[in-house]
Structure 1
Amino acid sequence: MVSRLALMMALPALVLCTSTTVRGQDPAAPVHVKVDTTEGAFVIELNPAKAPKTVDNFLKYVKEGHYTNTIFHRVIDGFMIQGGGFTADMKEKDAPRMVRNEGGNGLKNDHYTVAMARTSAPHSASSQFFVNTANNDFLNRENSQDGFGYAVFGRVVEGKEVVDRIGKAATQAKPNPQVPGMLMQDVPTTPVVIKSIEVVEKK
């Protein structure tokens, strides 16, 4: 049986970088983004105090409109939902900026937290992210086999029912257009499209 860690290592590379805030005041203040999907919307509270480089890079992709019309391309019930890198026709979007892994920031891969996806290379995270749909302690730095773990940079604070709904989506294997003959596993049968991600004021 393939382990959950092996599943994460098999995920396509995602990369994040640094240096852009959307605030005029305290750069460590929480930032909220609304993720509007075809299954509904949810709000993520980003934590720049604990994950400054990761949050900064994520917000750059948000401001550039990178996430518009991407999908949650990998959904594993009771584990996580991953998105931010592929379009509905399974074309991978260019995401050249990578960020240094901030997995040792004290934030845990608990239920409804948001973390960066990456390959087996510790500092390969770019635009793709995932929402934990369970407590995934094995993804934390102290439990990881490579000594880096998966960097948490936020948590879902509104719309958890939407995350739950996406996490229960029926899935199938689909051909990977970038790699002939290779199948991508756990792809929702009906595309779950991210219509937009935008910064919002928290009420």
Structure 2
Amino acid sequence: MTLSKHTRRACLALAALSLVAGQAWSQTTAAAPRVKFATTAGDFVVEVYPDKAPKTVENFLQYVQDKHYDGTVFHRVINNFMVQGGGYDAAFAEKKTRAPVLHEGREALAKGGDKNIVGTLAMARTSEPNSASSQFFINVKDNDFLNPTLIPPGDPVPKFEYQGRVYENTSRAQLVNAPQLFGYTVFGKVVSGMDVVNKMKAAPTGAGGPFPGDVPKTPILINSATLLK
């Protein structure tokens, strides 16, 4: 069968479009590494997003590659809230960490990243926004109060509402640096094994090690955390 010149051009254009789409798909999948957690409660897989929170993802994946998480426990488990781990071994000895990672919660949210909703992965930290190191948590409910607060444009900011209160003509620096507005950086989500996470969240808890409560009575150990791609 002989194709006309017009048809050949259309076929070439379609082929080129398919190639571009294929490259875009490849770049999308390449930008979403996955990590498998093998735990004593079962296995689950998380997907992380370097396009949304690059420094946070790099930090997390380095801990994975360093085998930091292997042998650690989920030391804080609260049903209807979250499960947290990545910092303590089975004897509740705190593991040595690298320097903290810069907080990227607002940047990730502004780029279309997830909020702290069921199944998302976020960095744990102290009251200091830039204190996150190795510990992470998985939201097991929609925790809106953990979300970063985006600051409207302007300096001063003409109008800003927070927790039912309205602020007018507020210094931008004052809002940007307010600790309560930073929230928690979401950098990934559970893509398989959420049933395992749900089993974990329902574990009976009590005191353990240095913690007065919320510690699973039967330890939930991370046997390994492995980068899949």
User: 1-side partners of 2:98 and 2:33: how far apart?
Assistant: 23
Instruction: Note the C-alpha offset of 1:89.
Output: 1.0
Q: Deviations over 1:34-61 (max 9, x none)?
A: 0110010000010111011100000000
Q: TM-score, normalized by length of structure 2?
A: 0.71
Percent identical pairs in the alignment equals 50
- The one-letter amino acid paired with 2:137 is F
Structure 1 gap segments, 5+ residues each: 1-24, 177-182
Structure 2 gap segments, 5+ residues each: 1-25, 150-161, 164-178
Instruction: Note the C-alpha offset of 1:26.
Output: 4.9
Instruction: Note the C-alpha offset of 1:173.
Output: 1.3
User: 2-side partners of 1:40 and 1:174: how far apart?
Assistant: 22
What corresponds to 2:205 in structure 1? 171
Q: Deviations over 1:4-48 (max 9, x none)?
A: xxxxxxxxxxxxxxxxxxxxx859710110011001000001011
3-state SS in 2 of match to 1:131: strand
Give the number of the structure whose residues are more often helix, by fraction.
Answer: 2
Are 1:154 and 2:188 counterparts? yes
- The one-letter amino acid paired with 2:60 is F
| Kept in 1: contact 2:91–2:209 (CA 8 A) | no
- The one-letter amino acid paired with 2:80 is G
Q: Deviations over 1:146-180 (max 9, x none)?
A: 1110000000000010000001011001241xxxx
Instruction: Note the C-alpha offset of 1:88.
Output: 1.2
What corresponds to 1:37 in structure 2? 39
Are 1:119 and 2:126 counterparts? yes
Q: 1:187 to 1:131 in 2, by over 3 A?
A: same
Q: Which moved more, 1:138-147 or 1:120-129?
A: 138-147
What corresponds to 2:56 in structure 1? 54
Q: Deviations over 1:91-149 (max 9, x none)?
A: 11011221111111112000000000000000000000000000001000127961110
After TM superposition, the structure 1 = structure 2 runs for residues 19-34 of structure 1, keeping only pairs within 5 Å, are 26=27, 29-34=31-36
- The one-letter amino acid paired with 1:195 is N
User: 2-side partners of 1:123 and 1:26: how far apart?
Assistant: 30
User: 1-side partners of 2:212 and 2:69: how far apart?
Assistant: 20
Equivalent pairs, count: 171
Which of structure 1's runs of 4+ aligned residues deviate more than 6 A? none
3-state SS in 1 of match to 2:38: strand
User: 1-side partners of 2:65 and 2:99: how far apart?
Assistant: 14
What corresponds to 2:69 in structure 1? 67
RMSD across aligned positions (CA):
1.7
Q: TM-score, normalized by length of structure 1?
A: 0.80
